[in-house]
């Protein structure tokens, strides 16, 4: 017996209701109704111009386009990877005006006039950047998907330390940080390697740090 005030459901009633709903959705609509449904305003666009790997790029983009998608889909610089697309893995790390950022969290139109460096701009197969060469030497990658972001981040990390930017592992944030293993590991913690090549990445960074310290 159903308690007073409570709806009564049966298997037959649920099936009948579902069939009725399906039938309603098949009812044809008029041409004017269809035109109203399909006519939508185009997404807003804005022109943006920035420098990528030393070359000026000018585009007109949907204002919702991320810097990551502008690089990959519009400029075809596919070295920068789309991993989580939520700023959690670091695969999309690029260097903007000397500072590393997650390109998936930044809108392209925010970077008017900026200087952007991707993995393609750090070095070439004929002339590797010292960090790229160190990653190869120390086998700092396995599948390689996170490697472009890891290398861009590693280059920026050494520059951060050199400029005296503090980190969470410093007891005294006013003191000049050093090129220590724990310092570099802390700063690289936002770059995830699902293959687990962290010790090799640390070795590669330590070698380059010894050259720039």
Do the Cβ atoms of 113 and 50 come closer than 8 Å? yes
Write the CA distances from 6 to 2, 12, 14, 155, integer angstroms.
7, 18, 16, 65
Average pLDDT for residues 70-85, to the nearest whole number? 97
Average pLDDT for residues 60-88, to the nearest whole number? 97
Does 164 have pLDDT greater than 90?
Answer: yes
Domain of residue 70 covers: 43-120
Residue 120 φ/ψ, nearest 5 degrees: -65, -25
Residues 106 and 127 in one domain: no
Does 10 have pLDDT greater than 50?
Answer: yes
Residues 109 and 181 in one domain: no
Residues 74 and 86 in one domain: yes
Q: Is residue 174 part of a domain?
A: yes
Q: Is residue 5 part of a domain?
A: no
pTM of the model: 0.80
Q: pLDDT confidence of 28, banded at 50, 70, 90? A: low
Do the Cβ atoms of 151 and 119 come closer than 8 Å? yes
Query: Which DSSP category does 3 fall into?
Result: P
**Could you tell me which residues come within 8 angstroms of residue 3 by beta carbon, excluding any fewer than 6 positions away?**
none
Residues 149 and 89 in one domain: no
């Amino acid at each position: 017996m159903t308690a007073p005030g409570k709806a009564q459901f049966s298997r037959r009633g649920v099936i009948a209701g579902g069939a009725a709903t399906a039938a309603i959705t098949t009812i044809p609509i008029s041409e004017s109704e269809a035109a109203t449904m399909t006519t939508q305003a185009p997404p807003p666009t804005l022109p943006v111009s920035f420098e990528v790997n030393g070359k000026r790029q000018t585009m007109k983009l949907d204002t919702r386009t991320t810097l990551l998608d502008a690089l990959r889909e519009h400029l075809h610089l596919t070295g920068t990877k789309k991993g989580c697309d939520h700023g959690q893995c670091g695969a999309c790390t690029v260097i903007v005006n000397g500072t590393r950022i997650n390109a998936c969290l930044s809108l392209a139109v925010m970077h008017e006039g900026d200087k952007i460096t991707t993995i393609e701009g750090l070095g070439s197969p004929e002339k590797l950047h010292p960090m790229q060469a160190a990653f190869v030497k120390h086998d700092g990658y396995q599948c390689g998907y996170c490697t472009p972001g890891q290398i861009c981040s590693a280059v920026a990390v050494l520059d951060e330390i050199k400029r005296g930017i503090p980190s969470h592992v410093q007891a005294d944030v006013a003191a000049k940080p050093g090129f220590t293993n724990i310092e570099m590991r802390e700063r690289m913690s936002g770059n995830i390697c699902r293959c687990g090549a962290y010790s090799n990445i640390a070795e590669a960074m330590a070698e380059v740090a010894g050259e720039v310290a």
